[in-house]
Structure 1
Amino acid sequence: MKKFMSAMLLVHSFGKISNFDNVIIDSYKGCHIKSNLNQYINNPKLFKQHLIDFIEKSKSNNNTAIWIDLQKDQLRLAPTLIEQGFKMHRVSENILQFSKWLPDCQSRLPDQSTHYVGVGGIVVKGDSILLVQEKNGQRKGAWGTPGGLVDQKESIIQAVLREVKEETNLDCKVEDVLYFREMHDARYGKTDLYFAFRLRCLDDQQIKICDQELMDYRWVPINGILDFMKKENQKPHVINFYKSVQERLTGDECKYMNIEERKEMYYGQMKYYVIFKPRF
């Protein structure tokens, strides 16, 4: 099981074990090179010499891995890293991260992010729910639930409230989790996780759809939602989704999950997280 995560860094320097003057060690004894690499851009031979020295001394210290980030203006150093056995681990807007596993065994470093997380808001008003009609892309003209992808450092609770607000201008309160889906080989071949929440609309008079993303909206009776979807020629998986939603909203026991939002100290930092507990 791959456990060697790069996120948990200990707040101390490893010391000058080579010519790299800023090295941080994580809780799995992985070395994170934090030195300014600009000094090597025009001298890749010196970078190679220092890197080889660092690898050997890291091995002698029984470190598990080396992590190093290249800024977009430092990519001239990438061939040297690849030559020395580093692998491209992840890429962001401005950083290409490399990693190298040091022990003589199969790497236990985690792969780059493998999942996307999406959220949808089932906005309830009386005995009706809100549906919106897409304006763009492959789903142009399709009816569905307002929502989207979770941003970095954003909880799924924060994300669904933000997405509904952006798309419909509605302020809502999360009341329940109605639906969870896992789909492999989705966007960019990654696994897609999707959470649908029951939301209570706080003021439906303020509704105003985002005309850059949506064409129209409807308040559709919960008991008539399947007929509406079939009339609008929606795809079978969409109809099945709203069948599950209808069952959750009209069943004898409508409350599915209890949601607890918490803030606690975790590895010296205050963390926000959400716990979902079944209601009995």
Structure 2
Amino acid sequence: MKNSGGRQKSILLSKPLLFSCIRPYGKGVDVAAPDTSITRASELLDAYEDEYNGVIIDPQSLPDNANAFADVLQSSLVSWKLEGKKGVWLKILEQQAGLVPIALKQGFSYHHAEKGYVMLTYWIPDEPCVLPSTSTHQIGVGAFVMNENKEVLVVIEKKCPLRCSGMWKLPTGLINKSEEIFNGAIREVKEETGIETTFLEVVAFRHAHQVAFDKSDLFFVCMLKPLTLQINIDESEIEEAKWMALEEFLGLPFHRDDKLLRRITSICIAKYQNKYQGFTAQCMMSKFDDRLTYLYHGCL
């Protein structure tokens, strides 16, 4: 297709494209890392196909000049519309932040932001947008660690909400990006108390809504077995840590008054007594996305 000036206007793909795509989990999305670049006409932005019949703009192709960016973005949108493309993903790096208002004026919307960039989207067809939304959950872990003397590993956190200030509690925390649930529990215990552990089972999880930043929250309770006993706290996060007799832990006022904590503890005790079956983690390959992943399940 040619414009009035006779220049090539909108050939998006000149040959098959190879992708190392990260498929969306739930309603989240990660951008593809292309192995082969799409042919770029001189007045169009570099772009790569996504999995929704749309395109992902290469942030390195964005002009530094605001007027040049506005012109090339507009002409690219016209071209992609003629080609039947639907969604457009525009990643603007931190050093390109001045381009954000221009994209918003052309109809782009905020999708999500991470350290170093903001992601915007544009939906071309006159129909409901079906692009996946940004992440809706944060994921936390709690660790129940009990030694052979029936003593539970507990901590007092330095930084916590006022309602739990000075309270003995199980080690907890948020998992890191791309971290497995069980690895997160092991890491949190190690960081907070210095205790080395091994993962046994996920014994329960809680699902709550409108928690931090109005996100939903998944909290996984992991049963861990201690491999060491010597406590060495992280003084930046933890006020104190110790091995507490199970009966003393059960008698703590907060524990007595909190139904959720009482149920979690009873499940963990039942697991310790081999009267309860939780979920172990098995690594396996899926043809859906050709990647290794962990499946959490009970014994067959």
Structure 1 residues 211-220 or 262-271, which shifts more? 262-271
Counterpart CA distance in 1 for 2:118 and 2:111 is 8
Structure 2, unmatched stretches of 5+, are 1-25
2:165 aligned with 1:140: yes
Aligned-residue offset at 1:180: 0.3
Equivalent residues in 2 for 1:32-47, closer than 5 Å: 32-37=56-61, 40-41=63-64, 43-47=65-69
Answering whether residue 151 of structure 2 is matched by residue 128 of structure 1, we say: yes
Cα 1:258–1:179, aligned 2, differ >3 Å: closer, same or farther?
closer
CA distance in structure 2 between the aligned counterparts of 1:130 and 1:150, rounded to whole angstroms: 19
3-state SS in 1 of match to 2:139: strand
Residues 6, 159 of structure 1: CA spacing in aligned structure 2 closer, same or farther, 3 A cutoff?
Answer: closer
Distance 2:192 2:239 in 1: 11
Verify: 1:249 aligned to 2:269, yes or no. yes
Q: How many residues align?
A: 271
Structure having the larger proportion of residues in strand: 1
Change (3 A) 1:35 1:186: closer
2:203 aligned residue = 178
Superposition RMSD on alpha carbons, in Å?
A: 2.6
Counterpart-to-counterpart distance in 2, 1:114 and 1:18? 39
Amino acid at match of 1:86: F
Give the SS at the match of 1:257. Answer: coil
Instruction: Confirm or deny: 8 A CA contact 2:88 2:121 kept in the other structure.
Output: yes
The answer to which of 173-182 and 131-140 deviates more is 131-140
- In the TM superposition, residue 234 of structure 1 has moved relative to its aligned partner by 5.7
1:106 maps to what in 2? 128
How far does residue 186 in structure 1 lie from its aligned partner after superposition? 0.5
Deviation of the 1:17 alpha carbon: 5.3
Partner residue, 1:262: 283
1:121 and 1:198 in contact (8 A); partners too: yes
Secondary structure at 2:67 match in 1: helix
Task: Describe the shift of the 1:240–1:267 C-alpha distance in structure 2 as closer, same or farther (beyond 3 A).
Answer: closer
| 1:134–1:152 CA distance, 2 compared to 1 (3 A) | same
Q: Distance between the aligned counterparts of 1:256 and 1:17, measured in 2?
A: 60
- Tell me the distance in 2 between the aligned counterparts of 1:153 and 1:61: 36
Offset, 1:263 = 4.9
Q: Given the two structures, how large is their TM-score scaled by the length of structure 2? A: 0.81
Alignment of 1:224-239 (within 5 A): 224-227=248-251, 229-230=252-253, 233=254, 236-237=257-258
Give the CA deviation at 1:149: 0.6
TM-score, structure 1 as length reference:
0.86
Q: More deviation in 90-99 or 215-224?
A: 215-224
1:200 aligns with 2:220: no
Q: Which residue of 2 aligns with 1:162?
A: 187
- Sort the Cα spacing of 1:35 and 1:133 in 2 relative to 1 into closer, same or farther, 3 A: closer
State the 1:128 CA deviation. 2.4
CA deviations on 1:120-179 (whole Å, 9 max, x unpaired) are 111110222211111223233122111211111111111111111100111101111122
How many percent identity over aligned positions?
24
Quick check: 91-100 or 217-226, which moved more? 217-226
The structural deviation recorded for 1:8 is 4.9
Q: Which runs of structure 2 are paired with 1:265-280 in the superposition (5 Å)?
A: 270-271=291-292, 273-279=293-299
Letter in structure 1 aligned against 2:277? Y
Give the structure 1 partner of residue 119 of structure 2. 97
Gapped regions of structure 1 (runs ≥ 5) = none
